[in-house]
Amino acid sequence: MMKLSVGKATVNVDLDYFLKGSVLKNTVDSGCSAARTHFIVNSDEPREKIEQLIKNAKQGCFAEKMLQASVPLTSTIELNGENFSI
- Model confidence at 1, pLDDT cuts 50, 70, 90, reads confident
| Residue 34 CB contacts under 8 Å (≥ 6 apart), including other chains | 15, 16
pLDDT exceeds 80 at position 10: yes
pLDDT of 49 reads 95
| Residue 71 CB contacts under 8 Å (≥ 6 apart), including other chains | none
CA distance 51 to 5: 13
Q: What angle do CA 41, 8, 2 make, to 5 degrees?
A: 75
Contact 29, 20 (CB under 8 A): yes
In this prediction, residues 16-21 reach a mean pLDDT of 97
Please state, rounded to an integer, the average pLDDT across all residues of the chain: 93
